[in-house]
Every structure is written in C-alpha cells, then in structure tokens.
C-alpha cells in the first residue's frame, strides 16, 4: 500500500484555503407562504379570467351606466385564444351590445387584468314594465279639507309645499 504524499499535501493546502475563505452564513428569514402561492397561482388565475362576482360588483363603473342598465355579466369561460365573457341582456339590446363589443372587452380587460377575447350574449325576454299608476283627482271635499287643515300654517311657501305633498299622497301621484 503506497501513500501518495503529494496528493495528501495538496489536500491539506486546500483545507487551509477553505478555512481562511469560509465566512459566517447570513441569516435570511423565510418568505411568507403567500409570496410563493401568489407567484405560483398568478399565471393560472390570469388565464382563468375575472371572477363573475367581481365583475358584477363593479359592472357599472367598468362599462358605464347605460350598458350596465341593460346587461349583466354571467360568467367567464375558457377558450383557445383567451376567455369568453357571457352577458345576459334583453334580445332587443343585442345589436347595441354587439356594436359595443370591442369597447366592453377592452374595458373588462383593463379593469380585471385578464385576457377576455370574445363576448357571448345570452338573450332574455325584456324586463316587464311596471304598470302606470293613474292618479285619481281630488274631490272638492278632499281639497277643501286639505286647505282647512293647512290654514294654521303661516309661511306661504311651507303651506304650498305641504299642499303639494298632501295632494300627492291622497291621489297616489308620484312626481319626479
């Protein structure tokens, strides 16, 4: 068994060099788990598109009051090139929405940071109109009673305002 003295000497010199160069390790606290989760989920969530609840809560500020009055976001589904936004709207409003399609997609992408590329309109029946309330006129007896009950009020502008209110209440009329 032969001993390679030169190899041993080189090994000792290497150990001496390592002892001189070795430093104290720097303590770095671990990053929060949320940082790792955020980094891992960001690409997946960006491809998934915005949550429908988020869109519904901010819909009027995303597309504007006029379009928000006639549309409602339903869901966002995946497609080959991006995502598809499904909107519920009355069938009569479909041409308007189709015309504003590019604007809606651009605003949704800007607001949510997602990649919506298409729009699908789910047509519904138009909303039912509320029946008009036809006010019945005051009878002369009711008008005389109202004038008599307002006679103690001294200020004419207050008396006039109370008279208008009383007439509206008694006739069921709504002034806008």
Express each pLDDT in 102-114 by its tens digit. Answer: 999 999 888 887 7
Helices (H), the chain: 5-21, 33-48, 52-63, 65-70, 94-99, 101-112, 140-150, 156-171
Between residues 174 and 23, which one has the greater pLDDT? 23
Q: Rounded to a whole number, what is the distance in angstroms from the first to the last CA of the chain?
A: 111
Between residues 93 and 23, which one has the greater pLDDT? 93
Express each pLDDT in 116-140 by its tens digit. Answer: 889 999 998 876 666 666 778 888 9
Express each pLDDT in 73-101 by its tens digit. Answer: 998 888 887 888 999 999 888 998 999 99
pTM over cut 0.75: no
Say what the pLDDT of residue 176 is.
Answer: 45
- At a CB cut-off of 8 Å and minimum separation 6, what does 170 contact? 138, 142, 146
Structural domains of the chain ordered from first start: 42-124 (3.30.300.180), 130-176 (no CATH)
């Amino acid at each position: 068994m032969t001993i390679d003295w030169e190899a041993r000497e080189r090994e000792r010199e290497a150990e001496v060099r390592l002892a001189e160069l070795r430093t104290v390790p720097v303590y770095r606290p671990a990053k929060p788990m949320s940082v790792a989760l955020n980094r891992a989920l960001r690409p997946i969530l960006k491809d998934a598109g915005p949550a429908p609840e988020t869109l519904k809560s901010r819909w009027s500020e995303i597309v504007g009051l006029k379009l928000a009055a006639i549309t409602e976001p339903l869901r966002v589904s995946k497609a080959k090139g991006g995502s598809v936004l499904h909107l519920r709207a009355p069938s009569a409003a479909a041409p308007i929405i189709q015309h504003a399609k590019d604007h809606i997609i651009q605003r949704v992408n800007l607001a949510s940071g997602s990649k919506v590329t298409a729009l699908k309109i789910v047509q519904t029946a138009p909303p039912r109109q509320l029946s008009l309330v036809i006010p019945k006129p005051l009878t002369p007896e009711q008008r005389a009673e109202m004038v008599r009950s307002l006679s103690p009020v001294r200020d004419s502008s207050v008396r006039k305002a109370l008279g208008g209110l009383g007439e509206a209440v008694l006739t069921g009329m709504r002034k806008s």
